[in-house]
Amino acid sequence: MDLKKITEQFFSAYARYDAEAMTALCTSDAKGRYVPYGRNSLAPIRGGIDAIWRALPRAVSGYRVEVLEMLLAEGDTVVVQTITQIALSRFLEAVPPPQTGRHLNHIGVAYVMGPVLILVIGMIGEVTLWALLYYSWGDLGSFSNAVYFSLACFTTIGASELSLSPAHRIVGATEAAVGMLMFGWSAALLFDVIQTMRSRRITGGE
């Protein structure tokens, strides 16, 4: 029995979603585990796990997700957000908050607009990263469509007139989740800027 050859044939059938070929390579008493059900999910292959093998491709048409590319997009988004935070910190170090009393004037407004602009530029960069991923798949046609779809996902608004292929739909949902995290991160940074300015402004006015 050539276990290496059998293993290669099994995973070749797995890549094709050929449940019949996968089952044929298993002995009549073979057992396996279905990972989402945990380590104690030992069940017969025939009449058990093979049902999952058959059902999944039918339930999710074109079941395939470029996991590596999605993880790279998520990682790059965090990198861009980190760079944005560093740029914001450098801005705050270079431009001290105005101390003009208790009431916000045009100088204070300008001081707040600087961090807002930095955060917006960072978000544009993050949206563009996801748009490049969508465009490389060719699901949305033009790059402008990819940017629009990415922005709609990132802001959790959604774009009903555009959609990814069934194999990639989960990526759009993932971008929405990442977008919420990035908005929360940016809001926390902006809140810190306003609090710092407010505390120094009050101190300066006393």
What are the angstrom distances between the C-alpha of 92 and each of 55, 79, 200? 56, 20, 13
Band of the pLDDT at 126, cuts 50, 70, 90?
A: very high
Lowest-pLDDT range of 42-46, 84-88, 119-123: 42-46
Q: Give yes or no for a contact between 152 and 159, defined as CB atoms under 8 angstroms apart.
A: yes
- CA separation for the pair 172, 153 (Å, rounded): 6
Listed by start position, the domains of the chain span 3-59, 67-205
Query: What pTM was computed for the model?
Result: 0.62
- CA separation for the pair 128, 40 (Å, rounded): 43
27-78: pLDDT as tens digits: 888 888 766 566 667 888 888 888 877 776 555 554 455 566 777 888 889 9
CA angle 145, 147, 150 (to 5 degrees): 105
Residue 160, Cβ density class (10 Å: 0-12 exposed, 13-18 middle, ≥19 buried): exposed
* Topology of the domain comprising 67-205: Helix Hairpins (1.10.287)
Average pLDDT over residues 170-178: 89
| pLDDT of amino acid 38 | 62
| pLDDT of amino acid 70 | 78
* Helix then strand then coil, % of the chain, to nearest 5: 70, 5, 25
Band of the pLDDT at 119, cuts 50, 70, 90?
A: very high
